[in-house]
Structure 1
Amino acid sequence: MADLRDDVREGGSDAPPVARLAKRRRVAQQGRIVLGPERLVGCEVRDLSRTGAKLRVAPEIALPETFPLVIAAHDLRTLTVRLRWRRGDFAGVTFEP
C-alpha cells in the first residue's frame, strides 16, 4: 500500500490527494527528454524520489507514454520513465525497471 504520510495535491487544493510511494525531495536539476534519435527536449527536474520525478517541460511538447530521460546531477543518468500525469508546465513520471 502507498505511504499516505506523503500525500500531496497535484493541480491545486481542490484536487484529491495523490499517494506517494516514496518521499520526494525538491531539486533543480537540468534534464533532457529523448523523443527520437535527433530530438532532445530540455526540461527541469523539480522533485525527485527513488520511484519518480516531477518535470517542468513546455506544455506544447507532447510526451509519449514512456521515454528516456537524461538527468544531469553529479553524473549523467539516463532512465526510462513512464508518464503518469500532465498539468500545464509540469509532468509526473515514474521510473521503469
Structure 2
Amino acid sequence: MREHNASGPDQRGRRTPVIEKGTLKLGLFKKVQCEIRDLSSGGARIVTPNGMDLPEEFSIRIARQKRARPCLRRWQSGRETGIEFI
C-alpha cells in the first residue's frame, strides 16, 4: 500500500463518494449514460451499462456541471472505470 506524503500535493485530489448521473460523449454522435461513484478535482470512478469498453480518450458531462470535460481512461474493471480529467 502506498503512503500519502502529507507534505506534497495529492495530484489526483481528495476523492468524494457520490452517486450522480453523467453522460459520456464517445465520438461525434454516440452518447452513453453513466453513474459517477466518486469524484475528485483530478478524475472520477464511473459505472457504465454492461461494462462496455471505453476508448482511451472521451468526454464526460456531469449532470450538475454546465460543460463536458475531456478525460482519459486510466483503468477499467468490469462495469467500473477510473478516469482522469485533462
TM range (shorter): 0.7 to 0.9
Q: Which runs of 5+ in 1 are unaligned?
A: 6-18
| Residue matched to 1:93 | 83
Map 1:59-78 → 2, pairs under 5 A: 59-73=50-64, 75-78=65-68
Q: Give TM-score, length-normalised by structure 1.
A: 0.73
Corresponding pairs, count: 81
1:59 to 1:87, Cα distance in 2 relative to 1, 3 A = farther
Map 1:1-97 → 2, pairs under 5 A: 4=4, 21-73=12-64, 75-96=65-86
Root-mean-square deviation (CA, aligned residues, Å) is 2.3
Higher RCO (CA-CA < 8 Å; seq separation 6+): 2
1:3 to 1:49, Cα distance in 2 relative to 1, 3 A = farther
Q: Is the 8 A contact 1:3 1:20 kept in 2?
A: no
Q: Which runs of 5+ in 2 are unaligned?
A: none
Moved over 4 A (4+): none
